[in-house]
Structure 1
Amino acid sequence: MPGAAGPRRRADAERSIARIVAAARETLSRDPNTGIDDIAKAAGVGRMTLYGHFRTRADLVEAALADALRAGDEALSAVDLTGDPRNALSRLLESSWTLVAESAALSTAAQDVLPAGRVRELHAAPAQRMEELIRRGQDEGVFRTDLPLTWLVNVVHYVLQGAAEENRTGRLKTKETARVVTATVQSILAAPPARAAL
């Protein structure tokens, strides 16, 4: 049938791209310096096939990071953020630290090959979710307002990245990580107690 090969070739190419991106996510999460040859091998494709879909290592790293962040965003969008902002924050942190563990290594790889503005752009959705939750907590008087909101969002991100690194090196056990992250961030964001009038 004329034209039948076209859709099939496209489907084959899409499967090949998906395998390559999945392999890049997995290998770069273990080692941000993983080379193209190792990624191609993990994907079960040749170097030429990989370069047929991704012209540069930067293109592949960006695709892997974007894919991980998109998957993470889908998972986090299911987290219930209603009710007391402190409880909502705990639920969000418990769900997000493992996702950050993967994206932290991918972000390291991305920072080496992509402009800083592009890396920030890719992280915009997760940052916005946290920013909106912290702002709501500030409006309700349970989170501090004496520090800039963008700084607080970044501090939460730094804590999550630090926990991911501690977990990766074995200095923090996996079963303890969610509790440690939650306790740390809650203490950072807590509104200071009101001073009694003299």
Structure 2
Amino acid sequence: MAGTQEQRTRALRADAQQNVERILEAAISCLGTNPEASMAEIAKAAGVGRVTLYGHFPSREVLVEAALTRLLERGEEALRGIDLTGDPRDVLAALIESSWLLTAQAGSVLVAAQALLPPGRVHEMHAEPERRLIDLIRRGQSEGVFRKDLSAAWLANVVHYLMKGAAADVSAGRLDRSEVPNLIAATMDGVVQPRFT
């Protein structure tokens, strides 16, 4: 009898976990096309009722944060595969290309998160990718291939500003998504060049 109850509990946990996965994927999909997607729309896309959705994610804020966390985890997996030991200019171009693909996928989810979450929380969630970029820029500065008169943190911010601007231009139809990595890399190549006086 105890074994039967244990099996039911395990089955329930597996079913609940499947619901969580479906809800997260639906949230990523729905928010990816409309950052204002409602909880009802997300529940419908996940194939669950609103009660089930709210049972796992008690508010839109909690769900949006979980969706962004999921996307950032996927991004970390992709970015971890980049060899950071090569020429800093080449590594920067590779990071920009991979980061753009992630930004393009997560853009509207990030918009939803920025509207709901405190700015400090969104920044905190991006700490690891930001650290990686700043460390690379510092290495480039110490090797003399990146300018030293601007801080690594500022140069990393410039990359983020360019990504956000490019995402806005892509959304508005002013820029082709496939052109963005090369445009940002070329722009940053000019920005990071050492200044000789």
**Same fold per TM (> 0.5)?**
yes
State the identity as a percent.
48
Report how far residue 176 of structure 1 moved.
1.6
CA distance in 1 between counterparts of 2:147 and 2:165 reads 22
User: What is residue 189 of structure 2 aligned with on the other side?
Assistant: 186
The letter of the residue matching 2:110 is S
Report how far residue 8 of structure 1 moved.
0.9
Contact 1:19–1:43 (Cα < 8 Å) also in 2: yes
Report how far residue 2 of structure 1 moved.
2.7
CA distance in 2 between counterparts of 1:122 and 1:90 reads 23
**Coordinate RMSD, CA, aligned:** 1.3
The letter of the residue matching 1:111 is Q
Q: Does 1:131 align with 2:150?
A: no
Match of 2:68 among 36, 54, 65: 65
Contact 1:58–1:114 (Cα < 8 Å) also in 2: yes
User: What is residue 124 of structure 2 aligned with on the other side?
Assistant: 121
Regions of 4+ moved over 3 Å:
none
CA distance in 2 between counterparts of 1:189 and 1:41 reads 47
Superimposed CA distance per residue, residues 32-74 of structure 1 (whole angstroms, 9 cap, x where no aligned partner): 1111111111111111110010000000000000000110011
Match of 1:40 among 43, 47, 58: 43
Provide structure 1 residue ranges, at least 5 long, that are not aligned to the other structure: none
Contact 1:98–1:164 (Cα < 8 Å) also in 2: no
CA distance in 2 between counterparts of 1:43 and 1:189 reads 45
Provide structure 2 residue ranges, at least 5 long, that are not aligned to the other structure: none
Match of 1:16 among 19, 22, 25: 19
CA distance in 1 between counterparts of 2:34 and 2:189 reads 31
Superimposed CA distance per residue, residues 105-133 of structure 1 (whole angstroms, 9 cap, x where no aligned partner): 22221122111211111111111111111
Superimposed CA distance per residue, residues 131-180 of structure 1 (whole angstroms, 9 cap, x where no aligned partner): 11111101111111112222211111111122222223322113322211
User: What is residue 150 of structure 1 aligned with on the other side?
Assistant: 153
User: What is residue 162 of structure 1 aligned with on the other side?
Assistant: 165
User: What is residue 107 of structure 1 aligned with on the other side?
Assistant: 110
CA distance in 2 between counterparts of 1:182 and 1:5 reads 54
Aligned residues: 194
Q: Does 1:98 align with 2:139?
A: no
CA distance in 2 between counterparts of 1:109 and 1:175 reads 24
The letter of the residue matching 2:178 is K
The letter of the residue matching 2:109 is L
The letter of the residue matching 1:62 is E
User: What is residue 29 of structure 2 aligned with on the other side?
Assistant: 26
User: Helix, strand or coil for the counterpart of 2:92?
Assistant: helix
The letter of the residue matching 2:33 is R
Contact 1:101–1:165 (Cα < 8 Å) also in 2: no
